[in-house]
Amino acid sequence: MNFDTPFINDPEQLKLLNATTCGPMKYTLTNDFLSKYSLQNDLYALSGLLAALLNIDVENITALKILNPIEPGTSMSEKECILDIKLILNHEKIINVEIQSRFQDFWPERSITYLCRNFDQLKPGESYNLVKPCIHIGILTNSVFKKDDPRYVDDFYSEYRLQHTLHHTDYSSKFVIKVLSLNQLENATDAERSTPNGLYYWAKMFKASSWEELKMIAKDNPMMTSLVGTVMKLSAEEKVTQACEARRRYSNDIATYEEMISTREARVNELDAALAEKNIEIADREAALAEKNIEIADREAALAEKNIEIADREAALAEKNIEIADREAQIADQEAALADRDAKLADKEAALADRDAELADKEAALADRDAKLADKDALIAALQAQLAEKQG
């Protein structure tokens, strides 16, 4: 297919299409099937778009080959539902152009995956220096990142490379991701708006929603004008409109599914937040309980110390009681010995009393004897006196 001339090279046919195609566009260029099918059929327009995206002169494009063409009416596998345009430019670069009309949470990871697949191109035994440069270009209706993401930028056109983190020198210039954010069209710089390659106006074409707007944007650029003619012609074909409608429905289904997922995720996040609050409350309670347990443990430790002190005192008291018992036993023994001694002394005193009584009896008997002797002595004396008187 010749990319040096427009897809519709008949001025009369183009004039007829311009006259009969007006009003709102049922399917815009953000419909990935329409844009890919139109560009694969109009390499002239595709070369202009590529020149704008790569910031090169269109004259430098000498060869262009699409590696994954599509045909409306044929069934597509799940992998082909991603309708990117994969091509080789000038036999030396692999370009992958993706048009995405929905925000993708993991677009960076996906774009890197696609880029890596294209970069892994060598056949067994081929030298690594034969690797062709690979560029993945995303034409997105939204920015790559959400505004609350620290990676968010409001650039109209961004480029990402593998670089040294300190010196910002390229690790390799063969691995590049470019992003055209259609929602940042108003942030295009003066240089981007006035650049000869017309990237700003190509972006406006993708955002156009009516045929009049599309024609007005393209009127001063032959390659854009060619694409408008191609889109008008193909949009009139039933098999193309059916494929576009299928892609629109698919996109709507995905959007609905993603919205359902988002709603469920929001609900899950609410439940997670409530659970987190509950966990915080539980953690607070557990912390309070832990403090209470520490307080109880401290009290139990103090009580244990007190019990040990009481036990020591009770042990000392027991020892004291044993000592007292020993002393009381000794006293009892001593008292028993004293009682024995007192009994013996009593016995002795009784025996002594008996002896005293006996002695008293003997003394009384002796006194009687003495009295009798005295009486006898008195009698003798009287007799002696009588005798003496008689003798005298």
Taking only the tens place, the pLDDT of each residue in 76-104 is: 544 445 678 999 999 999 999 999 988 88
Mean per-residue pLDDT for 299-305? Answer: 85
pLDDT of residue 3: 65
216: amino acid identity, one letter:
M
Residue pair 32/83 in contact by the 8 Å Cβ criterion = yes
pLDDT of residue 195: 78
Residue pair 146/153 in contact by the 8 Å Cβ criterion = no
Q: Dihedral angle at the C-alpha atoms of 141, 147, 152, 156, nearest 10 degrees?
A: 40
pLDDT confidence of 327, banded at 50, 70, 90?
A: confident
Q: Report the predicted TM-score, pTM, of the whole model to 2 decimal places.
A: 0.68
Average pLDDT, the chain: 88
Distances (CA, A) of 166 to 171, 177, 178: 12, 20, 22
Who has greater pLDDT, 357 or 83? 357
Of the candidates 181, 188, 239, which has an alpha carbon nearest to the alpha carbon of residue 206? 181
Residue pair 38/230 in contact by the 8 Å Cβ criterion = yes
Of the candidates 86, 96, 88, which has an alpha carbon nearest to the alpha carbon of residue 61? 88
Worst-scoring range by mean pLDDT, 82-96, 238-252, 320-334?
A: 320-334
> pLDDT, tens digit, for every residue of 158-189?
999 999 999 999 999 999 999 999 999 999 99
Worst-scoring range by mean pLDDT, 204-218, 223-237, 287-301?
A: 287-301
Worst-scoring range by mean pLDDT, 56-65, 75-84, 144-153, 218-227?
A: 75-84
Q: What are phi and psi of 160, to 5 degrees?
A: -125, 135
Mean per-residue pLDDT for 253-270? Answer: 80
Residues near 324 by beta carbon (within 8 Å), at least 6 away in sequence: none
pLDDT of residue 306: 87
Most confident of 131-140, 251-260, 360-369: 131-140
- pLDDT of residue 1 exceeding 80, the answer is no
What residues form DSSP beta bridges with 96?
86, 136
Residues near 83 by beta carbon (within 8 Å), at least 6 away in sequence: 32, 33, 36, 70, 99, 247
Most confident of 142-151, 192-201, 362-371: 142-151
- pLDDT of residue 239 exceeding 90, the answer is yes
The encoded tokens of residue 95 equal: 């370009």
> pLDDT, tens digit, for every residue of 6-61?
777 778 888 888 888 999 999 999 999 999 999 999 999 999 999 999 999 999 99
47: amino acid identity, one letter:
S
Residue pair 162/116 in contact by the 8 Å Cβ criterion = no
Of the candidates 26, 36, 30, 74, which has an alpha carbon nearest to the alpha carbon of residue 230? 36
Report how far residue 48's alpha carbon sits from residue 223's, in angstroms, rounded to the nearest whole number.
Answer: 6
Mean per-residue pLDDT for 97-124? Answer: 92
Mean per-residue pLDDT for 120-137? Answer: 95
Query: How many other C-beta atoms are found inside a 10 Å radius of the C-beta of residue 227?
Result: 28
pLDDT of residue 82: 60
